[in-house]
Amino acid sequence: MLELVKKNIHMNRWKGNATSQITLDDDFIVPDSMDDVEQIILSSGEITMDSVKNQAERVVVRGKMDFTILYRGAEGGLCTLSGSINFEEPINVPGLDEKDLVSVSCDLEDLNAGIINSRKLSVKAIVTLQVKVETLCDVDAAVEVDTKPASGDAPSVETLRKKVDVATVALHHKDTFRIKDTISLSGNKPNIDHILWNEMILRGVTTRPTNGKMMLDGELMVFIIYQGEGENAPVQWMEESIPFSGEIEVPDVTEDMVPVVTVRLIHRDIEAKPDSDGEMREIDVDAVLELDMKLYKEESMELLNDLYSTNRDLALQTGEACFDKILTKNMSKCKIVEKITLDQADRILQICHSEGTVKIDDTEVKEDGLHVEGVLEVKILYMTSDDTQPIQCAVEDIPFHFLIEAPGINDLTICQLNPGLEQLSAVMIGGGNVEVKATISLDLLALQPVCEQIITGVTDSPMDFNNLQKLPGIVGYIVQPGDTLWKIAKKFHTTVDTIMTTNGLTESTIKPGDRLILVKEVS
């Protein structure tokens, strides 16, 4: 009798994705303790997802958008107003099962703060939610055949194996990394009365798996606008880069795994504090990063592709196993150099801060690559010569396109693209022009779905010797197109080794028109 030795292939296969765009809109009253609104200078928002739940072919996402607005008051001073808008959005995902793995990413596409009147502001935002679904698959595929003698001799079995590369999700892990530091004001800056505005931005973040750990490094850019201490003190600003590096314990991770890591700021806190002389000249920075780590492992295995016996009749049961293999992992750099002209250019004294957001508009599969189109939204904050409007902000969109190399890519390829901003600078070059230089990172993991026929079972029975005797004992054969030694050996009841020995072949490659002598095997 024959028994198949099987191996379980555990796979996470992409099942599909869905996208939903929602509009957040609300009005907010300016507190009585704050000045009337004369002009909005800056606005920023951040999306926080509180829960993601699978419900009968749909995903329900609950979260909120926290926003901050910097405005110039009627009396000329700067004020900061904060608030939040809650949302709950059901997203239809056909075929979704409760056991499927769901990941949701959110992007704040647009935030617009407007003045209704001096005591009331409107806040509108467009949020894009993208749902990606993976399903767990387990397939038992034959990798070997075990022959055990029954009433007679053991079956003489010939096997054909096929090598396949399978990408499986080895682990999916979330963790946090904390950055704490203290920034001191330079000597030419006045003491801090109170902080009006602050921003934290991640730049150039890289991750690398090692055995049992995930290595992390990058820069935390900190920008602050504050009111100087003392009567009639001017508004001040400062910008500081805090480099960081560290490691996160991740059991079972190995350095040969392929990482897909998303890093985002989930907590940021900035507080002014006195220095050793009791003067408000130091700033405590506290930031928490969340790392969503998915690590793929490539496994190469040999599956039984076909088998037959020279002394038994075999009936094969077959099936199909579909899995993903890693087509490419490519970290590309797209460099941008662009000149833009700002409004009120003649009044600009100095650019004090710039930040950018990478937005992908479209991706298209091209020959041997993925073509990416998007925009870099650049926000430039600058000081003016107008004492009534000392700080102004301009937002410019810079389009870009780039071809990420991915040999073998096609319309079935599953592309996981993670864009980021590594470097950004904005410098006045005269004539009211600003030169913007940026480096955009495009981290692509391309998975290729592959389906293979596998052997799931086999039954054997005694050989029909009447049919065997009808086959000639020796025959001359001319190789036909599509022939292989395996196909010929199976058809004429012989073995590949016998054909090679009989014909003096040193390799198994044959071509149409070759002449072979075939000798029937009789066990």
pLDDT digits (tens, 9 = 90+) for 144-179: 888 765 555 667 888 999 988 888 888 889 999 999
Mean of per-residue pLDDT scores for the chain: 89
For residue 234, is pLDDT > 90? no
Write the single-letter amino acid at 459.
T
Which band of pLDDT confidence, cut at 50, 70 and 90, is reported for residue 373? very high
Angle formed at CA 240 by CA 437 and CA 230, multiple of 5 degrees:
125
pLDDT value at position 505? 92
pLDDT value at position 368? 82
Helix (H) or strand (E) segment spanning residue 354: strand 348-366
pLDDT value at position 95? 85
Answering whether pTM is above 0.75, one says yes
For residue 424, is pLDDT > 90? yes
**Average pLDDT in the 298-321 region?**
86
Token couple for 152: 């007679």
Tell me the C-alpha distance between 435 and 353, whole Å: 13
Q: What one-character-per-residue DSSP string does 425-449 give?
A: EEEEEETTEEEEEEEEEEEEEEEEE
pLDDT value at position 346? 66
Portions of the chain given CATH number 3.10.350.10: 464-523
Range with lowest mean pLDDT among 206-215, 349-358, 514-523: 514-523
Token pair 């000392």 is found at: 390
**Average pLDDT in the 467-494 region?**
88
For residue 297, is pLDDT > 80? yes
Tell me the C-alpha distance between 516 and 337, whole Å: 66
User: What is the chain's length?
Assistant: 523
Direct distance between the N- and C-terminal alpha carbons of the chain, in angstroms, rounded to an integer: 16
For residue 215, is pLDDT > 90? yes
**CB neighbours (10 Å) of residue 132?**
18
Residues 250, 242, 202, 81, Cα dihedral to 10°:
120
In 96-156, DSSP assigns E strands to 101-117, 120-147
* Cα-based distances in Å from 352 to 189, 425, 485: 14, 11, 73
pLDDT value at position 119? 94
3-state secondary structure of 30: coil
Which band of pLDDT confidence, cut at 50, 70 and 90, is reported for residue 345? low
Which band of pLDDT confidence, cut at 50, 70 and 90, is reported for residue 419? very high
For 48, list phi and psi in degrees, rounded to 5: -125, 125
Token pair 């095997």 is found at: 521
Token couple for 483: 């022939």
For 490, list phi and psi in degrees, rounded to 5: -65, -40
pLDDT value at position 1? 63
**Average pLDDT in the 183-211 region?**
93
For residue 462, is pLDDT > 60? yes
**Average pLDDT in the 298-320 region?**
87
Q: Which of 77, 51, 78, 79 is nearest to 64 (CA)?
A: 51
Cβ proximity of 96 and 59 under 8 Å: yes
For residue 203, is pLDDT > 60? yes
Token couple for 187: 């000597």
**Average pLDDT in the 507-518 region?**
92
- How many CA atoms are closer than 13 Å to the CA of 209, on its beta-carbon side? 23
pLDDT value at position 436? 95
pLDDT value at position 347? 76
Token pair 């700067």 is found at: 78
- In tens, the pLDDT along 65-110 reads 999 999 989 887 889 999 999 999 999 988 888 888 888 988 888 8
pLDDT value at position 230? 83
CATH class for the domain made up of 464-523: alpha beta
Which band of pLDDT confidence, cut at 50, 70 and 90, is reported for residue 265? very high
Percent of the chain's residues with pLDDT above 70: 98
Tell me the C-alpha distance between 500 and 488, whole Å: 12
**CB neighbours (10 Å) of residue 120?**
13
- In tens, the pLDDT along 402-414 reads 999 999 999 999 8
